[in-house]
Homo-oligomer: A and B are copies of this chain.
Amino acid sequence: MSHGPVAVERWGVWEGRFAGPMPSAGHGGPGFSVDFDRDGERMSVPGFFDGDGHYLVRFSPPDTGDWTYRTRSSSEVLDGQRGWFTVTAPGPGNHGPVGVAGTFHFAHADGTPYRPVGATVYNWVHQATDLYESTLDAIAEAGFTKLRFLVFPQGGGHVEYVPPTFPFARTADGGWDVDRPDLEFFRAIDRAVADLLERGIQADVILFHPYDRGEYGLDGLSAEEDARYLDYVIARLSAYRNVWWSLANEYDQLERPDERWDDVFRQLVRIDPHERLRSIHNWIQLYDYNKPWVTHASIQNGWAVAEPGRAVLYRDAYRKPIVLDEIKYEGDTVERWGNLSAQELVHRFWLATVGGTYATHGESFLTAEGTLHIVVGGRFRGESPARLGFLRRILEEVDGTGLDPIDKWDDTTSTVGIPRRLYLQYLGRDAPASWAFSLPQGVLGERVELGDRYAVDVIDTWNMTVTRHPQVFTIDDVQRNSAHARGEVQLPEGQAIALRVSLVD
């Protein structure tokens, strides 16, 4: 079999299909991987059984040019197959996978900054097609740039719906045979990732979770079974450039020693040839995000953005991007994790932003069916998604790697930015009637100089307006920790206001 001269985009997915022997129950398939070569560059990519006597390999080429491949397997028929294909320049909208940039931020492989404004629908992929699609549309229309969802379906807890497929075939004694993945189930996961990719949304794939409630027992697989599943799901999904690995939601509810999670991370590092982003999400106890295999901190803690000045502390502790992947939800549940007002949730996103961190949305109004948007998805009822789409726009207008606290030891003005060039200051949900021009000065990086000239945009974070103030401000007073210009900006008093202050060249 030779796929040349089929062409694939750089950072796209090249898929090869090869005939091979059926995997056997309890023993799995033959080892199967493919070496891809180009000018001395080699990537070894694990393949996987895809039913019907066929094995697939998915490879996302990191560079343009002609690539050759050679299969490797303990099965004679699968081993030693060769071919080649051409990798072309990326098409429009393909900026490559997201990686860490500037210590605390993210960028695509081509350098385009990526700013997470995330959403959460845990059982999105397990729902009937109509609901699945309306969720996808809602997320995309709101402008979210990342979606967190579970691979394993949730059992109970606002979930009445039993999905039509499960990840594995059953064993004779009612357990799960992790060596016989259910192809329909995993193809639905593939499709979910691909659907997000098509819409430019990162797929934050949650590999394990504790929400089984004794229903399915997928939280009770052994470490060895987990590892087999991981081999499989990583081989299927890793080639999609929008994949992020989230080892678990609320990992510490699973009551496993941290060492078991360390091992899962190590396995991920070992088996994922595309080196997608890796993190894990907590309940009560934070995982140690300083461990070398963690690419960014994925933290649940609404408290960290309930007031200014908190989230920034996580940056110092981890020196990695901080994504606050659960800060409580907009909704009306009795439990306090699910009854934020839209105004409060939007406020928290802005506090995350001016802490130099990122946040993730979820909606939890109790529906007539007794469920929540975060659990099953659908259209949004809440008022925050539109405002978060607006925040996304503001973030995308930042020309630079990302926004960092200017004076983190004394950030009394809640200001982030790029020293001297750009400042974003958040005045909170109850802005004063006017603002006297003043900028903080940090210890590191460039400083505002006498004579520097700035334009000021008044950003109404709730009403979604950006209003340029007519005056250009000229710095006439530079202090050790601040810089000032004559003049005031009138504000819509009592509104949730941010200011964008930009150096005028």
Q: Contact check: which of B302, B310, B317, B481 meets A409 at CB < 8 Å?
A: B302
B444 adjacent to A284 (CB under 8 Å): yes
Contact residues of A between 292 and 310, Cβ < 8 Å to B: 301-304, 306-307, 309-310
Q: Which residue on chain B has the smallest CB distance to residue A302?
A: B409
What 1/0 flags go to A276-318 for Cβ under 8 Å of B?
0000000011101111000000000111101101100110111
Contacting residues, chain B, for A443 (C-beta < 8 A): 284
Is the beta-carbon distance between A336 and B410 smaller than 8 angstroms?
A: yes
At the interface, yes or no: A35 with Cβ under 8 Å from chain B? Answer: no
When A307-B307, A309-B310 are in contact, do A316 and B285 touch as well, CB less than 8 Å? yes
Asked if A408 is at the interface (CB within 8 A of a chain B CB), the reply is yes
A interface SS class: loop
Of B284, B317, B410, the contact of A314 (CB 8 Å cutoff): B317
Expressed in whole angstroms, the Cα–Cα distance for A92 and B208 within the complex equals 55
The residues of B that contact A226 with a CB separation of less than 8 Å are none
Choice from B284, B286, B336 contacting A481 with Cβ under 8 Å = B336
Complex CA gap A429/B426 in Å reads: 26
- Per the bound structure, the CA–CA distance linking A1 and B49 in Å amounts to 76
User: Within the assembled complex, what's the spacing in Å between the Cα atoms of A307 and B408?
Assistant: 14
Taken residue by residue from 237 to 257, chain A's Cβ proximity to chain B (1 for < 8 Å, 0 otherwise) reads as 000000000000000000000
Of B288, B289, B309, the contact of A306 (CB 8 Å cutoff): B309
Interface residues of A in 379-438 (CB under 8 A from B): 408-411
Which of A290, A303, A309 neighbours the largest number of chain B CB atoms within 10 Å of its CB?
A: A303
Taken together as a complex, chains A and B put the C-alpha atoms of A316 and B289 apart, in Å, by 11
Q: Which residue of B lies closest to A408 (CB)?
A: B303
Collect the chain B residues with CB atoms within 8 Å of residue A411's CB: 303
- Least CB distance, A409 to chain B, in whole angstroms: 5
CA distance in complex: A316, B322 (Å): 14
Question: What is the minimal beta-carbon distance from A317 to any residue of chain B, in angstroms?
Answer: 4
- A313 CB to closest chain B CB (Å) equals 5
Chain B, residue nearest A311 (CB): B313
Q: Which residues of the other chain, B, contact A314 by a CB distance below 8 angstroms?
A: 313, 317
Chain A 116-160 interface mask (CB, 8 Å, partner B; 1/0)? 000000000000000000000000000000000000000000000
Residue among B289, B303, B309 making CB contact with A307, cutoff 8 Å: B309
Contacts of A309 in B (CB 8 A): 303, 306-307, 310
Per the bound structure, the CA–CA distance linking A289 and B319 in Å amounts to: 12
- Taking the closest CB of chain B, its distance from the CB of A284, in whole angstroms, is 6
Would A286 and B409 count as touching, CB distance under 8 A? no
Contact of B336 with A301 in the complex, beta carbons under 8 Å: no
Residue of B nearest to A306 (CB): B309
- Complex Cα–Cα for A48 and B316 (A): 39
Contact partner, A317, options B286, B335, B408, B444, Cβ 8 Å:
B286
The interface residues of chain B lying within 8 Å CB-to-CB of A319 are 285-286, 288
Q: Which residues of B contact A290 (CB under 8 A)?
A: 288, 290-291
* Interfacial chain B residues near A481, Cβ < 8 Å: 336
Name A310's contact: one of B285, B313, B335, B444 (CB within 8 Å): B313
Which chain B residue has the least Cβ–Cβ distance from A481?
B336
Contacts of A316 in B (CB 8 A): 285-286, 301
Chain A, range 457-505, C-beta contacts under 8 Å to B:
480-481
Determine the distance from Cα of A77 to Cα of B352 in the docked complex, in whole angstroms.
67
Task: State the CA gap A5–B314 with chains docked (Å).
Answer: 56
Chain B residues whose CB sits within 8 angstroms of the CB of A306 once the complex forms: 309
Q: Write out the residue numbers on chain B whose beta carbons fall within 8 Å of the beta carbon of A480.
A: 335
Residue of B at shortest CB range from A335? B480
Nearest-CB distance from A173 to chain B (Å)?
A: 35
Chain B residues lying within 8 Å of A291, measured Cβ to Cβ, are 290
**A304 to B309 Cα, complex, angstroms:** 8
What chain B residues lie within 8 Å of A409 (beta carbons)? 301-303
Q: A444 to chain B: which residues have CB within 8 Å?
A: 284
Contacting residues, chain B, for A307 (C-beta < 8 A): 307, 309
Q: Tell me the complex Cα distance, A285–B310, Å.
A: 16
Q: What 11 new A-B contacts, CB under 8 Å, besides A309-B310, A310-B313, A336-B410?
A: A284-B443, A288-B319, A289-B317, A303-B309, A303-B409, A304-B313, A306-B309, A313-B314, A317-B317, A317-B318, A336-B481
Residues of A within 8 A of B (CB): 284-286, 288-291, 301-304, 306-307, 309-310, 313-314, 316-319, 335-336, 408-411, 443-444, 480-481
**A to B CB contacts below 8 Å, 20 in the list:** A285-B316, A285-B319, A286-B316, A286-B317, A286-B319, A288-B290, A288-B319, A301-B313, A301-B409, A302-B410, A303-B408, A303-B410, A303-B411, A304-B313, A307-B309, A310-B310, A317-B317, A317-B318, A335-B480, A336-B410
